[in-house]
Structure 1
Amino acid sequence: MAPAEGSMTFSDSDAPGSGELRAQALEVLRKLVGREDAAFHPGQFEAIEALVAHRRRTLVVQRTGWGKSAVYFVASLLLRARGAGPTLIVSPLLALMRDQVEAAARAGVRAVAINSANRLEWDEVHAALAEDTADVVLISPERLTNPAFREQHLPELLARTGLLVVDEAHCISDWGHDFRPDYRRIAALIEELPPSIPVLATTATANARVVADVEEQLGADVLTLRGPLGRDSLRLGVLRMPDPGHRLAWLLQHLGDLPGSGIIYTLTVSAAEDTARLLANAGYRVLAYTGKTDTGEREEAERLLKGNEVKALVATSALGMGFDKPDLGFVVHLGAPSSPVAYYQQVGRAGRGAVHADVLLLPGAEDREIWRYFATTSMPDRAKAQAVLDALAAAAGPLSTVALEAQVELRRTQLDLLLKVLAVDGAVERVGGGWRHTGAPWKYDDERYRRIAAAREAEQAAMVAYEETTACRMEFVTTQLDDETAAPCGRCDNCAGRWFPEEVEPGVLERAGEQLRHAGVPIEPRAQWPSGMDKLGVAAKGRIPAGEQLSEGRVLARLTDLGYGGALRELFAPSAPDGEVPAGLRPAVVELLAGWARGDGAAGPWSGAGRPAGVVAMPSATRPRLVDSLARGIAQAGRLPYLGAVSRTASARPGQAGGNSAFRLASVWSAFDVGPELAAALAGLGGAPVLLVDDLVDSRWTLTVAGRLLRLAGAGPVLPLALGQAG
């Protein structure tokens, strides 16, 4: 072993007693934190002793900010001083990895990371491992599914590991609020370790059911150390507002009054982007942070927040576990997470190193609908799982995800999730060239998924109860985590009275309403046909010819938007009757057209295609009156001729909402036709642009196929326009 310069070296023959080990551990802790008066929190040394002296498997459930990382850093250095190999930490988020590597370096711990974002550094990492100059190795759980890593690097790493750490261990459990299929591989990883290798699992968000599940996966003789989860620094509150406009107006008026810098959480990407834009337009220094934000922009946003150079990041749950800013002053939620446990995890970002921090929830009427959507998309479907297995079993060799998409009606994100579940269950495996069936039998576990679904519904009901309770909010949340020390906090709005203002000035409310009423979201044209269409009997391959593509279009709003999203969700609800465009949306459509004609947006007036010379309607199977009234109303408002509707043929295949691109395209490829009357009307325009009007955009293949037919029939640029966009 190559100890770090200035490090201590002990041998097992020293066999220090508890007192001697405590002295050694305290010396390491003080070196780590750079303070001679540093002392262990209750439970920290007990965990270190279990790992170093007894090589036990240990589960630590302690509140955020308690110092779980100190436990594994101190234990790592003590084990290294005794000749052990490096510590292997499985860490769920890149932000967390970056923080941990930086914290380790400051403390003199030589840490390296292996993840998808630092591939160029892997050679240096492997060199450090070969030279035994790394004390800690951090990997993402996704690395465990990578065949090259699993075959070339993991065996050697496991053979030399001195301590395995599973951070955010609730992700192992089906019952955890943030269960991740990749984490379930860790149980198999633990089984491969000899009993002499200690294992540490840490989390701040585990109730009794999750604790029992994690204990079972850690193996026999697990030491569980649970501490009180109440946070003395947090001041919780709930403010109910009548609609999104009031919630945003409250933020506009009062964001500057919140202490320091913080996080504003939203439930959807579009809500984060809309809120960030509104606040930035009002002069606040804020940035959006979502799953769509690329890695470099995320790192810069994190840096700016840590340096208090922005007032807030407006974030989805992409900014969650492990983000470390001890002086974070506030957390505001625009919309509630789906469980009190998930809520506790997110608000735990605040007040870790501050005397107090403000935490405010502004729930929305749309929250439950969003919860239901995410709950249904996270569960594997029996028929689709079997279709994946059948496709892989019939293949002559491995299938890439792209090739598999052409055979299974699943979107990429859902297919990726299902493959992970099947891989963890041992039914499929990822190899060079894609995925293959292992031949192992697989059974859909109905009972398990029913129990998980029931647990999720109970969590949602508990979140509503949290919003409505008149008792202590901190006590409510920590009781949900089965904290036996849960007690009234004396600080929340129910214990001490409302600490936050409730009023919104009329002028601010009007300004927020104007922003929310801003109409228009671009529809990006499809430029490439999906792979594997020949397997579905469709002669479409490669890039869509420029003369057959749509131009950039517009929708009034996404269904998840804070502004018109609510009205559109009602309009497109399955139980909503077909009818004409609601009166409240008609002015918005006119505003959308006016902005498009002015050139609002980067593409210029009418997306650079020129003013439309006519309007064409899509044939709607579910809302014919809505589409017809929309198309005719646009023609009248724009003083344009209504040219008629694309015809629907009898050749349409049954498609499924949410299916992947290949199947969605196949279902509409032969579904439409340009009849002779419409063809004659198009010919009379002499190749001028036309508007193609629909009600709801999802995959964009319906519009793409119909637009292609219009162009082949003689139309000039085809500009799609719709009321709503799913997602």
Structure 2
Amino acid sequence: MENLDRLDHPNDPDLRAEADAVLAELVGDPGGSARLREDQWQAVAALVRERRRALVVQRTGWGKSAVYFVATALLRRRGAGPTVIVSPLLALMRNQVEAAERAGIRARTINSANPEEWDAIHEEVERGATDVLLVSPERLNSVDFREQLLPKLAATTGLLVVDEAHCISDWGHDFRPDYRRLRAMLADLGPGVPVLATTATANARVTADVAEQLGTGAGEALVLRGTLERESLRLGVVRLPDAAHRLAWLAEHLDELPGSGIVYTLTVAAAEEATAYLRQRGFAVASYTGRTENADRVQAEADLLANRVKALVATSALGMGFDKPDLGFVLHLGSPSSPIAYYQQVGRAGRGVDHADVLLLPGKEDEAIWRYFADTAFPPEAQVRQTLTALAEAGRPLSVPALEAAVDLRRSRLETMLKVLDVDGAVQRVKGGWISTGAPWTYDAERYAWVARQRAAEQQAMRDYVDTAGCRMEFLRRQLDDEGAAPCGRCDNCAGAWADSHVSAETLTAAEKELDRPGVEIEPRRMWPTGMPALGVDLKGRIPAGEQCATGRALGRLSDIGWGNRLRPLLAEHAPDGPVPDDVLRAAVAVLADWARSPGGWASGTADAQDRPVGVVALPSMSRPQLVGSLAQGIATVGRLPFLGALTYTTEDGAYAARRSNSAQRLRALSGALAVPEELAAALREASGPVLLVDDLTDSGWTLAVAARLLRRAGSGPVLPLVLAAAG
């Protein structure tokens, strides 16, 4: 290997030719004519020849990965250590490992999908057998990784790459606290180790913040910010009256879209609904969501890359992490809440082709879904201080489940808060959980409020994008502070609408039928939350089988585009109470009938079939007593079952227990809040068999779990929950 001192010479006449040769291998054309563009070469030269820190803000398809792979090859030939790439999504990692191999670059990845390989990868890194190590940001939050491997990497790294660097900034649309830990690695890097940060979706504020977080101030870093124009993309919006029209439109026009592509939805439930419908219509499509098993994700990616499917129907799980240069279209069933996130997703299309279509089909339910997923703001100071106090007083590490007993925050929000506090130095993750460092910490209320306002402004920008009469590409570029933004001449506003809104009556009827089909399973709770005895509630471990809820049924999920759209207005916080609508009752009866005929159902005729329910029991409701009461009575009447009665609340605030934020707090509020009146207990003992437990909404599942335990202890048989909606 050549001596690293060679890198100090500012004029290396052979370096450009060598870099172009590596690029040719990378693109699969060794000995060909491939050449780095001037801006790419500028970045490579800064990293390899000058060992600088560079921040590259360039559109999707510009070739950011080519920069760091070419730089890696050149640095490794000159004796530098391995490149460490922090990359957020598994799909992106898989693509990049394959690309690296084409250029003879040995790349490995450490992420949640391959824990069985971690030890072997660690050993390869230590003996210098790996050129590139791709690491998910979540690994930076692992105690073992931080304590054992990260110091070694910092000492031997030849190039640090931070991909999708906008994730560092909490001003951006996709802030990830784990990224902030890179500051520690940056501080430990040897002198002269180059750093490359890349992103395609950063406005001026986010760019400045990323530079600050990475320690790449304007005086030190080379900032390469290019145009975000995408000449291959043709943008449009198609307005349709409801979800059924949008599914029908998709079925009739999907084949007209060029090549293969991605259909994005806002929720997992919507992705699964759309996938099921399109398959029924004969389309080769696959679902890709946060619920998709890793092996199925890999297969779905491979099928799309090989054009064996027309589309992946995906959530944002596929947002940043998929590289298919000839992707012909991106279509959104529902509007994302941020124009920057939208630009990022549509940027997957048209990278290696002259033309790609991008269409947005907004829905009336979009804003309700935005609100449902909007609970991500930094918690109020009182809750943060409560967390710090709990850790300080514990005198030992506390796990997140244990902290839930002390802090009324949902687990995902609590975990995010702890990561931010860890980066700020107020807490530390250790083996066994989290501890307080005792370091002073200031609640930056002004910053958190600004971020919340920024989210609201992004949502308004998406409304404006749908309504604008101006150029759509120019609109998106201006949202990203692209100074050269100008009309594209291709979008539906510049060149005229190119996608009509017509759907046939036959296709619309089929879509309506698909969305009208009610019924989803509700999995029961099987374990009590951690830390309940500390809250004065003597429940721990596994819920005894004889006290568990059975697997239940709901008409739909509030996040789906079928029954979710019907149920959200009915179950909204300030919706008026009233008798259950006839169509909703009919749907509940249909769900009950399908349940009875399903494997294990009481009418299935199978060996393991449950006994037929002997009666109906209602959960009490202070906010919607007419709705729940009429639903339970209606089910009893149509099913020719006796209505056995309802549980009662023992305290006024018991009715609001389900509004608590996490499992421990919900269960504490429910403990002792529900009771089985003697008349109901007598009816249960007399009926002696399974009962249907009827409610309007289940969120965490703890109300159903507590009610089932009480009913079983009062003498009922298995408790079968039947609710209108599941919140997830």
Q: Same fold (TM over 0.5)?
A: yes
* Unaligned residue ranges in structure 2 (runs of 5+): none
Query: Aligned-pair distance for 1:712?
Result: 1.7
1:283: Cα distance to partner?
2.0
Distance 1:95 1:705, change over 3 A: same
Matched, 1:666 2:668: yes
Aligned pair 1:330/2:305, yes or no?
A: no
Secondary structure of the residue aligned to 1:376 is: coil
Aligned match of 1:253 = 252
What's 1:434 paired with? 433
Question: 1:325 Cα deviation (Å)?
Answer: 1.1
Task: Identify the residue that residue 701 of structure 1 maps to in structure 2.
Answer: 702
Following TM superposition, by how much is the alpha carbon of 1:195 offset from its aligned partner in structure 2, in angstroms? 4.6
CA offset digits 1:525-544 (Å, max 9, x no partner): 22222222211212222222
Instruction: Give the C-alpha shift of residue 371 in structure 1.
Output: 2.0
Could you tell me how far apart the structure 1 residues matched to 2:161 and 2:173 are? 20
Instruction: Check 1:325–1:483 CA distance in 2 against 1; reply closer, same or farther (3 A cut).
Output: same
Runs of 4+ in 1 over 4 A off after TM superposition: 8-11, 600-607, 651-654
Alignment of 1:222-621 (within 5 A): 222-599=221-598, 605=604, 608-621=609-622
Q: Contact conserved, 2:697 with 2:727, CA < 8 A, in 1?
A: yes
* Counterpart-to-counterpart distance in 2, 1:573 and 1:100: 45
Q: Which residue of 2 aligns with 1:24?
A: 18
Is the Cα–Cα contact under 8 Å of residues 51 and 75 in structure 1 kept in the other structure?
A: yes
**2:84 corresponds to which letter in structure 1?**
L
Taking a change above 3 Å as real, the CA distance of residues 717 and 322 of structure 1, as seen in their structure-2 partners, is closer
Report the equivalent of 2:216. 219
Q: Tell me whether 1:77 sits opposite 2:79 in the alignment.
A: no
| SS of residue in 1 equivalent to 2:374 | helix
> How far did residue 562 of structure 1 move?
0.8
Instruction: State how far apart, in whole Å, the 2-side matches of 1:268 and 1:377 are.
Output: 16
Describe the shift of the 1:387–1:603 C-alpha distance in structure 2 as closer, same or farther (beyond 3 A): farther
Does the 8 Å CA contact 2:89/2:321 hold for their aligned counterparts? yes
> SS at the partner of 2:529?
coil
Distance 1:278 1:381, change over 3 A: farther
Q: What SS class does the counterpart of residue 370 from structure 2 fall into?
A: helix
1:250/1:56 CA distance change after superposition, 3 Å: same
Q: Corresponding residue for 2:188? A: 192
Query: How many Å separate the matches in 1 of 2:124 and 2:552?
Result: 52
Provide TM-score, normalisation by structure 1: 0.95
Question: Residues 209-246 of structure 1: CA distance to partner in whole angstroms, max 9, x if unpaired?
Answer: 11111222333411111111111111111001111111
| C-alpha spacing 1:14/1:401, structure 2 compared with 1 (3 Å) | closer
Deviation per CA, 1:331-382, whole angstroms, max 9, x where unpaired? 1101111111110100111111122111110011121222233333343332
- SS where residue 70 of structure 1 aligns? helix
Matching of residues 78-227 of structure 1 within 5 Å: 78-217=74-213, 218-220=215-217, 221-227=220-226
The answer to whether the Cα contact below 8 Å between 1:475 and 1:489 also exists between their aligned partners in 2 is yes
Alpha-carbon distance between aligned partners in 1 of 2:115 and 2:444, rounded to the nearest angstrom: 37
TM-fit CA distance, 1:248: 0.9
Amino acid at match of 2:176: R
1:72 CA displacement? 0.8
1:9–1:711 distance in 2 versus 1, CA, 3 Å: same
Amino acid at match of 1:392: L
In structure 1, how many angstroms separate the alpha carbons of the residues matched to 2:525 and 2:209? Answer: 45
Number of residues paired by the alignment?
720
Cα deviation, residue 601, structure 1: 8.9
**What is the CA–CA distance in structure 1 between the aligned matches of 2:118 and 2:546, rounded to whole Å?**
45
In structure 2, relative to structure 1, the CA distance for the partners of 1:384 and 1:548 (3 Å cut) is: same
Q: Unaligned stretches of 5+ in structure 1?
A: none
Secondary structure at 1:322 match in 2: coil
Q: What's the CA shift string for 1:282-319, capped at 9, x where partnerless?
A: 22222221112222221121111111122211111011
Q: Would the aligned equivalents of 2:90 and 2:321 in 1 still touch at CA under 8 Å? A: no
Give the AA of the match of 2:659. Answer: A
TM-score calculated relative to the size of structure 2: 0.95
Contact 2:577 2:625 in 1 (8 A): yes
- Alignment-derived partner of residue 61 in structure 1: 57
3-state SS of 2:211 partner: helix
Instruction: Give yes or no for contact 2:47–2:71 (8 Å, CA) kept in 1.
Output: yes
Residues 271, 343 of structure 1: CA spacing in aligned structure 2 closer, same or farther, 3 A cutoff? Answer: same
| Residue deviations 1:235-282 (CA, integer Å, cap 9, x gap) | 111001111111111112222222222111111111111111221222
Query: Does the 8 Å contact 1:651/1:670 carry over to 2?
Result: no
SS of the equivalent of 2:614 reads coil
Distance 1:135 1:554 in 2: 51
Two-structure CA RMSD over aligned residues (Å)? 2.0
Deviations 1:609-640 (A, max 9, x none): 22222111111121111111111111111122
Q: Displacement, 1:201?
A: 0.7
SS at match of 1:375: coil
Q: State the secondary structure of the residue aligned to 1:108.
A: coil
1:605 Cα shift?
4.4
Change (3 A) 1:615 1:197: same
Asked if the contact 2:602–2:610 (Cα under 8 Å) also holds between the matched residues in 1, the reply is no
- Quick one: distance in 2 between partners of 1:702 and 1:450? 34
CA distance in 1, matches of 2:356, 2:389: 53
| Aligned-partner Cα distance in 1 for 2:634–2:178 | 51
Confirm or deny: 8 A CA contact 1:10 1:81 kept in the other structure: no
Q: CA deviation at 1:322?
A: 2.9
> Partner amino acid for 1:568?
L
Distance 2:603 2:270 in 1: 25
**Partner residue in 2 for 1:681:** 683
Distance across 1 between alignment mates of 2:7 and 2:714: 87
Instruction: Describe the SS at the equivalent of 1:117.
Output: coil
Q: Deviations over 1:515-574 (max 9, x none)?
A: 111111112222222222211212222222222222221111111121121221111112
What is the identity, as a one-letter code, of the residue corresponding to 2:194? Answer: P
Instruction: Tell me, in whole angstroms, the C-alpha distance in 1 between the residues paired with 2:392 and 2:62.
Output: 49
Distance 1:122 1:548, change over 3 A: closer
Given that 1:278 and 1:512 are in contact with CA atoms closer than 8 Å, whether structure 2 keeps it comes out as yes
Paired residue secondary structure (1:684): helix
* Greater Cα offset, 650-659 or 343-352: 650-659
Rounded Cα–Cα distance in structure 2 between residues aligned with 1:394 and 1:669: 25
AA aligned to 2:48 is V
Identity of matched residues, %: 61
| Cα distance in 1, alignment partners of residues 7 and 87 from structure 2 | 33
The amino acid that maps onto 1:431 is: V
